[in-house]
Amino acid sequence: MNIQDYILPLFYKPAWHLSKLFGKNRWVGFYCADPLDYHMFEPIKKHLPIPITYIAKNLKTGHFLKEINIPYKRYPAYPDVVIMARQTAYKFPVRKIVKIGFDHGLYQFKRWTSSKYYNLFDVYFVSSENQVELAKERGITTTVAIGYPKLDKAFDGTYDEQALEKLRRDLGLDPEKKTVIFSSTWDVAGLSALTRWIDHVHTLTDKYNTLLTAHPWTDERLLVKLKSINGAVYLDEIDITRYLLIADVFVGDYNSLIGEFCALDKPIITFRTPDSDRSIPAVKQLLSKISLQITDFDQVETAIENCLANPDQLSEGRRYGNMIMHHKLDGRAGQRAAEIIMKLAHDIKK
């Protein structure tokens, strides 16, 4: 928080109360800061039987919502209930506003910020009971484990084998080759291994179907380079669940997509990353249990072949990882979140 966040209540509170005085209907808003927020909320929204009004953080996000035909209000807006995919409840500084939050990524791959941000919420959704306990150790009292809604499609029957086979055909994948997906976290604090493989991954495309993705906030120059790699398929989508389902091996670094692939109990390779102020020792330990770890690109092909020959090698570690990172893998996390939202928004008319 900065100085404007202390000044904001002086203007926001009177405006909110004035809007309630003259407004006839109570309403639920989703605070949308960027396209990633929108996509993370969709698996929850589909289970909500009430209208949701999107609140765009800025003009850029407003343009995105307009392009996909989603009506919206610009912030500041004055909902009775607000949902968001980040820790900025202080932007709605009225006690009577019910505030519901959740993370972008799975589990605890990034450090908690100050507990005061999370405790402004009435409830903050997390992916597992272990994460709830970690939050309590930080003095955070609002977390509830519901699972990870973004993964619901992997377990609710959305992608049956027919749909996945069509996807393989649409991508032009060779049915005689195994499929390997390379991914990377945001390129800050030394946790991304993208620069260790981006100039070399083309050498694998003759042997494997090669899928590529990276954090959407990655340096644009690297993304442009990634998209231009011959023989590989760049996944220009925020939700890549269906691509995880068709991959045989995942190669990552310190990104939460690793936890999503772990849920599928398939082999994972990770580049070792240095300790930093953004990394968490317990997460790095967990990665060592669920993945085959390497240092340089020249180890990648051997590691892939090892994984393909012994896909169950770290299955016990992955089962442990799933127990730590996931509440349930039943395709119903979004539904659980929606049920809690409806209880908190009980007096909002359907």
CATH of the domain at 254: 3.40.50.2000
**Residue 217, domain member (yes or no):** yes
Q: Over the stretch 251-285, which tens digit does the pLDDT of each residue have?
A: 999 999 999 999 999 999 999 999 888 889 999 99
Q: Are residues 46 and 160 in the same domain?
A: no
Q: Over the stretch 298-329, which tens digit does the pLDDT of each residue have?
A: 999 999 999 999 999 999 999 999 999 999 99
**Residue 350, domain member (yes or no):** no
Please report which confidence band the pLDDT of residue 4 belongs to, taking 50, 70 and 90 as the band edges: low
Asked if the model's pLDDT at residue 6 lies above 80, the reply is no
Three-state DSSP state, 148: coil
For the chain, the domain total comes to 2
Report the range of poorest mean pLDDT among 5-9, 123-127, 171-175.
Answer: 5-9
Q: Does the model's pTM come out above 0.85?
A: yes
**Residue 299, domain member (yes or no):** yes
Q: Are residues 32 and 118 in the same domain?
A: yes
Residue 132 structural domain? 3-148+331-344
Q: Over the stretch 45-66, which tens digit does the pLDDT of each residue have?
A: 999 999 999 999 999 999 999 9
Q: Are 253 and 193 in contact (CB under 8 A)?
A: yes
Helices 35-45, 333-344: axis angle to 10 degrees equals 90
Q: Over the stretch 199-243, which tens digit does the pLDDT of each residue have?
A: 999 999 999 999 999 988 899 999 999 999 999 999 999 899 999
Q: Are residues 132 and 224 in the same domain?
A: no
Q: Are residues 267 and 159 in the same domain?
A: yes
**Residue 88, domain member (yes or no):** yes
Q: Mean per-residue pLDDT for 5-9? A: 83
End-to-end CA distance of the chain: 35
- Rounded to whole angstroms, how far apart are CA atoms 229 and 223? 10
